[in-house]
Chain A
């Protein structure tokens, strides 16, 4: 046990390594160059870009379209990263470095969209709304991870729990013809799988990654098996009712934000409610303090009379509930039907979002949204007829995750006892 040295001086050195300074400055100048050569010089003067600020299919909360002159906008968007890049090279931004790189990247993305949509229109609000929905399963998956890992249990089984949840949600929803009962089914299936994870990893202390892998393989096999055996031969078992949009009176009318957050799917509401609930529960309640203590230093918690095993069970089961809920989103909140492998790796991406968000609900949600946005922007650009091949465009969310992780986020602070079984002596 190495003792951490005490802080000698509170003055911190926000020194960015010179190579990094140089590198980021060049990156920012390159961004400016790309906007200039790629967009500005290909734009006719006097064209307009129209951004529609109301998503389609919405009749409340309308907002006037936002029309901007394309060329001047693009020129401004060139100047911003250029100035940032120059300042970065000459002086450096210190603490604000990452933010400035982010700003430059935003200029690039916004410039791209503005340019692509020059002379026509693009529904910006729709894109945002889609991004939020695309972020939902990832964010819920990340929440699931936060809950369990904050108590020191690694949960890579989120994908499996989500897959099972989506299948059971569809099945039960179809049988009962009730989306809510279906959702309960999805949640229960997540709960059951997480119970297995808990028993294996907490009681039998088997390696948590192995335990998670067990559940992932089991779920993939079992859902495919049941799907082939029953759902495909009997469509009636695979057509649950769908949760539809529920506008929140008053709030739904707010332009732009209304459609995004207050006139949407029940799962979006649940995600935001969970964000607040988990954030508050973890950091402001007795229960959360104890849960985190178990994830940081289970022996210390034990000596204070906290039941480590029980707390971990609770956390893992809650994690399963949230993962099951996320699973339910696919069949009950999105498409109303199960097909094999339909979670398409969202659980793993959720896990990435959790790490990315530093094991915090708010961070996890941010990461989920970055992912959702990358995905939505990619589709939008393809739709506008982008020159980038769709396969390459589809890489965007993954590339962005990697770049952000590599460049702009420090090493995460995983809970200290994450992944370690607790051995009571």
Chain B
């Protein structure tokens, strides 16, 4: 479980739409659990949530990790039990699903588009079990699966706008792990945000590393492991003048963070979670993060199973429903003038209201 000590903080900070309602039992559960005497009773009745990661692993600084944080939050707040299995390869998905069904998990959370087929098959074969999948939606929806998808370009749009406002060189940059939709949607939103800024302000801020015309073109590390590569990509972007960089590449992004920290004259935009909290060592350079609240949505799904309101279907995380968010600017809020903050708030409203339409 990543970032254990910090895990509680964001839980407080995340104003997920339905969160307040749930927070009630939080206070009670741990108290009940304390006495050791009750051990056998607790073990039998314990509500079990099981996560299957995709091959990126539980510490991917991305959806696997964020979803697991939702389960961890539920462990502390709702007193449930959580387990995970890290997939080594595609063939593991089905096997792990079977293992968890065998284990009697009350909810199985799978992560990523690639587990979609296996999850659907398991759900069909086990209609009494509850599933949820992150970053994937079924069409038509499946009765016992909650698909969680995110319109991530919305929050990335805000980040792009902010970046364009903050840049001094007039150049910002981004790179991805692999040219795949869940990655490129961040980059696309980011570029659109910058373009919107240019349109509104008549500026000429340039984005390096992504091409709106062709989503397969752009700067990619082609790897989610090689942090050194991430570092060199960031260096390359900075060399070309970029002073705000958004890496969309899991842990590879941390390599970029290290490079930016070293140069000290550029800013980082985190993705998925609030990097100011999950990677505090880079707090000083983290401008903001494009948050995709998979922890919150996962938490919601767990709650719904707990209180018996679970129904299948798809949740689309948007700015409107709090499934997406731009993280606070934390230490760098000085860079954001009140005016700019107001503009960002306005844009957020416009997106929610459909006044700004993303491609």
Contacts and interface: CB of A to CB of B under 8 A. Distances in A.
Q: Please say whether the chains A and B touch (CB closer than 8 A).
A: yes
Interface of A: 52, 55-57, 121-123, 125-127, 129-130, 133-134, 137, 227-228, 231-236, 239, 242, 244-245, 330, 334-337, 339-342, 344, 375-376, 379-380, 382-383, 385-387, 389-391, 394
Interface in B1-41: 1-6
Given A137-B228, A334-B255, A340 B238 contact: no
A125 B240 CA distance: 11
B40 to A, nearest CB: 27
A346 to B, nearest CB: 8
Given A235-B3, A380-B236, A334 B227 contact: yes
B218 A334 contact: no
Given A233-B1, A334-B227, A56 B235 contact: yes
Given A130-B236, A244-B262, A335-B231, A390 B225 contact: no
A342 B225 contact: yes
A127 B239 CA distance: 8
8 contacts: A57-B263, A129-B235, A134-B232, A234-B4, A242-B258, A337-B258, A339-B225, A387-B217
A256 to B, nearest CB: 13
B216 A390 contact: yes
A334 B258 CA distance: 7
Contact of A126 (B57, B217, B231, B235): B235
A379 B219 contact: yes
Interface of B: 1-6, 57-59, 86, 179, 208-209, 211, 216-220, 222-223, 225-233, 235-241, 251, 254-255, 258, 262-265, 281
A170 to B, nearest CB: 11
B253 to A, nearest CB: 10
A56 B220 contact: no
B240 A391 contact: no
A394 B239 contact: no
Contacts of B216: 389-390
B175 to A, nearest CB: 8
B279 to A, nearest CB: 8
Contact of B59 (A134, A339, A385): A339
Nearest to B169: A56
Contacts of B238: 56-57, 126
Nearest to A126: B239
Given A57-B263, A244-B262, A336-B281, 10 more contacts: A57-B264, A126-B238, A126-B239, A126-B240, A232-B2, A242-B262, A335-B255, A335-B258, A344-B229, A383-B237
B84 to A, nearest CB: 10
A222 to B, nearest CB: 16
A179 to B, nearest CB: 13
Nearest to A241: B281
A47 B229 CA distance: 32
B209 to A, nearest CB: 6
In the A-B complex, the 7 residue pairs with the closest CB atoms: A126-B239, A123-B239, A57-B263, A344-B226, A335-B227, A56-B239, A335-B255
Contact of B239 (A55, A228, A232): A55
Contacts of A245: 262
Contact of A344 (B220, B223, B254, B265): B223
B257 to A, nearest CB: 8
A121 B260 CA distance: 21
Given A335-B254, A383-B208, A342 B218 contact: no
B11 to A, nearest CB: 17
B225 A383 contact: no
Contact of A376 (B86, B219, B223, B232): B232
Given A340-B57, A383-B208, A334 B231 contact: yes
A232 B4 CA distance: 9
B232 A133 contact: yes
Nearest to B262: A244
A352 to B, nearest CB: 17
Contact of B219 (A330, A336, A375, A383): A383
B258 A233 contact: no
B281 A339 contact: no
A370 to B, nearest CB: 16
A133 B264 CA distance: 19
Given A232-B1, A335-B231, A383 B209 contact: yes
A135 to B, nearest CB: 11
Contact of A233 (B4, B218, B228, B264): B4
Given A335-B231, A342-B227, A383-B208, A57 B220 contact: no
A234 to B, nearest CB: 7
B258 A336 contact: yes
Contacts of A137: 228
A43 B223 CA distance: 34
A235 B275 CA distance: 13
Contact of A227 (B59, B220, B229): B59
B218 A382 contact: yes
Nearest to B86: A228
Contacts of B229: 344, 375
Max count, chain B CB within 10 A of own CB: residue among A56, A245, A334, A375: A56
Nearest to A123: B239
A127 B236 contact: yes
Contacts of B223: 344
B214 to A, nearest CB: 9
A122 B4 contact: no
A376 B236 contact: yes
A228 to B, nearest CB: 7
B258 A390 contact: no
Given A232-B59, A235-B2, A385-B211, A337 B239 contact: no
A234 B241 CA distance: 36
Contact of A334 (B58, B228, B237): B228
Contacts of B251: 337, 339, 342
A385 B232 CA distance: 17
Contacts of A228: 58-59, 86
A390 to B, nearest CB: 4
A254 B231 CA distance: 25
A56 B263 contact: yes
Contacts of A382: 209, 217-220
A392 to B, nearest CB: 10
A322 B216 CA distance: 39
Given A134-B228, A337-B254, A342-B225, A390 B220 contact: yes
Nearest to B254: A337
User: Which of B3, B236, B241 lies at the interface centre, i.e. has the most chain A CB atoms within 10 A of its CB?
Assistant: B236
B262 to A, nearest CB: 6
A375 B222 CA distance: 12
A239 B281 contact: yes
